[in-house]
Structure 1
Amino acid sequence: MRASRQADGIGYVFAADDPFTGFDFDAVTPDALWAIERLQSYTEQSASGTGMHVIVRGALAGVTDRNRRDHFEVYDQARFFVVTGAHLPETPTTIEPRQAELHEVVAHFLPPRQQGGDERRPPVAPAEVSLSDGQLLERMFAAKNGAAVRRLWEGDTEGYPSASEADLALCGHLAFWTGGDRERMDALFRASGRMRDKWEREDYRTRTIERALTNTTQVYRASWERSEEDHMNQTEDPPDQGDMRRGDASSAPLSISIPFVDWADFWARDRSDPEWVYDDVLARGRGHAIYATHKQGKSLLALFMAARIATREKGVVVVYLDYEMGEDDLHERLEDMGYGPASDLRRLRYALLPTLPHLDTEAGGQALAGLLDQVGRDYPDHHQVVMIDTMGRAVAGEENSSDTFRAFYAHTGIKLKRRGCTWTRLDHGGKDPTRGQRGSSGKGDDVDLVWRLARTQDGVTLHRDAARMAWVPERVSFHLEQDPLRYTRIERDWPTGTMEVADTLDRLGVPLQAKARAAQAALKEAGEGRRKQVVVAALRWRRQQQENTP
């Protein structure tokens, strides 16, 4: 035991009969950080203190016949790792299955040898491109070759021997403009006129993207930002940046720009907009979670609110991502709510079974941002409301894992918040809904307000589980009416016994303006003691009745 206290950690030997592969990065270079982000599995600092280890579930068989190059090593057998336990924050604490990502990272660091023993140059490491999809496409089409690229984007194959060659050409342009981001290349390709059934074949899609990246020697980088006039003269290949395009460890330190608060603007800004986009339920500019057990009516309420906002609130547009219903289901529900061909639903931008990349990935966050950019161009100066129905179908990670929701917030949620959007995600409750959302207790960390929906005899009640704002009501109840189907607010959801206690207070002669403590004391002295919540409600009810008396 004395010796163990001086050790760097415990040892683990990778063997042929275990499912694990270990990555060893001797230095924390931009390439290494990219790989850690791609692998998204257990990551820790190495014993040296200067490198990183990542462990995944996956195998190297058929992927590579080599194990090391420069500052990179990878093993799935016959190798000893010291496990330090110095976990890298913001990475999973579990070892995740990552065979596809393993293949991608190994191909980057250990590219196949060409005939004669020479190695191919690995694809360039992705560069962070902060442009929205709309801005990216605008600049791509404004470049010197922009007209040809636009025709290709729109689906024109003229000048290419085959459709596959046209696909590869478009991916080549996307590789440059996305900074070599594979997921974003995929997302943008799906939004182009080149999208076809063949792209859904994983082997074809992966092969095309990898070929495009292999042929790409430079990518667009934020450091090349220039004036709009310069962008109009942009060729596909910016000035050579030498080894910096590979993200070598010798590169200059990254320059990070953080938008600090401008206090003059902060205090001068007009904040007269209402706090709610849907009274007492959806707070303007905030993130929400609405969860319930199966078939409680959360989607029906969400659709009702979305349609009501889009048709009655001026200066607001709703983007509804529906991952569950089909067109017939939507038609039936809207018709039941009294909408029809004459209804103006233009500001309800409804996406049925959307094909966006998963929203807990960078590609998903970028794709949604691009979609909102387009909506913003159609409806400038409109506040945007985003509804995600339901969360479990919009993410790739485990629905019950807090890591999934942290990834969603990092890639999508925080971007919605920065835009000032009001956004809501619908989620499932556990077997006992009073104990919170199904799965991890950390699932509410990404939002400002968590509502638990419960069906009542005549409608639904939203119970406030958590809120960052003090002005959110504890609960909000709705009566569900038919023909047309609509939810009407029950202005006062009186606790059981409210009227009985009010009658007792009248009988005891307790003044209308009495404080709760005095009323409780009077009830207790008369042998009629009740909970404070009921007493407060009874006092309020008595005053309301008095106000309503002619």
Structure 2
Amino acid sequence: MSDTSSQQSRIDDTERWESVPDELRKYDQWIVTENKKPIHPAEGWQKKSNQLSFDEARAEAVSADAELGFVFNEGDPFAVIDLDDVGFPPNHSREVTDIVEELSTYTEVSRSGSGLHIICRGQRLSERNHKGPLDQRGSIEVYDSNRQIVLTADLLGERSVIGEGGQFFRELQQEYLPEANDADTSTSAPQTDGTRRSISTEVQSKSDGDESGPSVRQIKRTIDAYAADGRDSAVRAKELWESSGAGTYPSTSEADLAFVSDLAFWCREDTQLMYQCIRRSTRYREKWDERRYADGSTYADGTIEKAIRTNSDTFSGRYVQ
């Protein structure tokens, strides 16, 4: 390679990160990585004293043909939403597109090409787990400290400025991330063998690969909208969704059945969607995944089956997007 070609290559490498927001460049919280593994510093990268300025890290990354990682620390105002295995642009699900558009902040395509990094100003909710399943495809993780993300600066659209996460960022965590004392829900499959056999198998036979149905977010928004208009069934469903006890019902189990019966209507008897709504609701607890029957089916399976068996109508309107 000629000196001219080599010089041009270095210029091109330097320009790889031109889309990195100025807000991040101001923080000396950078490291050099290779295959997502920190190489400078190789150890102790979590310590702020070992982290580099943007210019230092970029120069070393160009020299080593490596990559840049930004470390999220407690002292900065940023949080990252890491969407994994959500497909290659522009083939994202409607669910992922909604999340990106609602947050309206810096968004880049990850190294693999099938993930997204969304950076906003905001805090992770300490009462929630870091990771949870998306409804239609992939998973979501949220971090605001002790985490490094390899930045590609491969922008999705023109979302190059870091914005405020605001109320939507809080709602996003409340909807998708299980409570911190819940079992690990790092995959979209339910947690017990019995639930996997019944709900997951049924859903694959009904709609494997079909992302045209409503998401949990759309179900909740629709219920909220109808409740705001005073529809009694929606008011009841909203109250049950956002509560955890028995309330006005004789027992918690009867309140659970009333909630799932409402879901049978709003979810049009889609068993997997009903289960996902249960998991996103405040009513969710480990009891739902306990095996209760000889065939291995769970409390959730039995409650959903009973609710559908006694259901007489389904929602025929348009879901709120």
Scaled by the length of structure 1, what TM-score is found? Answer: 0.26
Pick the structure with greater CA Rg.
1
Choose between structure 1 and 2 for higher RCO, CA contacts under 8 A separated by at least 6 residues.
2
